[in-house]
Amino acid sequence: MKHFIDPLDLTLDEYDLLFRLADNIIESPVDFLDRAKGKLLASLFFEPSTRTRLSFEAAMNRLGGRVIGFSDANATSTTKGETLIDTINTVENYSDICAMRHFKEGAASLASKVVSTMPIINAGDGGHLHPTQTLADLITIRRHKGSFEKLNIGFCGDLKFGRTIHSLVRAINRYEDINFTFISPKELKMPDPFKSFLKKYDETESLVDAIPSLDILYMSRVQKERFVSSDEYERLKDFYILDPEKLSLAKDDMMILHPMPRVNEISPLVDKDSRAFYFEQMKMGMYGRMALILYLLELV
């Protein structure tokens, strides 16, 4: 039994398999309508979510399976003091696979050590990792860049708490000749543990200076829910705003990605630009999660 807790839990060969499987699902969805029939996905969201939760549920339903679970932890026995371990042991009695989002770093890893028959998928653990968003990101990049090699990827915004960024950096760093450009205020810099294994990276506070050389710009919101000080959040929330003026400095084929939700960091005027891929990125997330569910359930 395999879990997906960290983006490095899959080898590059396994990622390639998922990419091909996602391609097949996109090209011929009717062939997969009953592939997971009779299987149950437990959707356990201890933290708010729109895209991740709905895409997991859509993925399982489109595969012919069914979904149980909750989107509000206040409706569960955790409000009575039930531990995460007891919750997971309970859910394993009813489900074949589990997608879990939790506000505590390491929660998904803990859950994976408790179960014996139910694969655990990390749908986001605090400000740590979000490997299924990485899968969506990689599928989107592959479909438009053809490969992951020789890219200059800029990450802009909240790099300190950005679990989607932490995950993608870990995953894509395994490919050849990748340069990372980290664009953030000093208070939200990329944490040292996520830079220590990188071959090439630059750091700057200026989006204007960085954008001309980028092949991909990965924007992110400043995450209000991670801040202790509301004043600090208010000071930093609009530090970067991508608008048509800044975008005029970029390459004609630069990709703009964003894991969503956005607040003010990308102007709606950018949405119609041919370089904006963040809405397609959402859809690729559903296809990637379909492929992942099939793989972990050994239904490929």
Residue 130 annotated as catalytic: yes
Which residues lie across from 41 on neighbouring strands? Answer: 67, 97
Gap between the Cα atoms of 143 and 7, Å rounded: 19
Q: Are 213 and 240 in contact (CB under 8 A)?
A: no
In the annotation, is 80 catalytic? Answer: yes
Whole-number Å distance between alpha carbons of 151 and 10 = 21
Secondary structure of residue 265 in the 3-state scheme = coil
To the query of whether residue 258 is one of the catalytic residues in this protein, the response is no
52, 87, 132, 134: the catalytic one is 52
CA distance 280 to 112: 31
Locate 58 and state its tokens: 């859509």
Catalytic residue among 35, 39, 102, 130: 130
Distance between CA atoms of residues 191 and 56, nearest Å: 29
Distance CA 156, CA 117 (A): 39
Say how far apart CA 69 and CA 81 lie, in whole Å. Answer: 18
Active site annotation includes 166: no
- How far apart are the C-alpha atoms of 119 and 5, rounded to whole Å? 10
Residue tagged active-site, from 53, 62, 101, 237: 101
Does residue 150 have an active-site annotation? no
**Active site residue ranges:** 51-52, 80, 101, 130
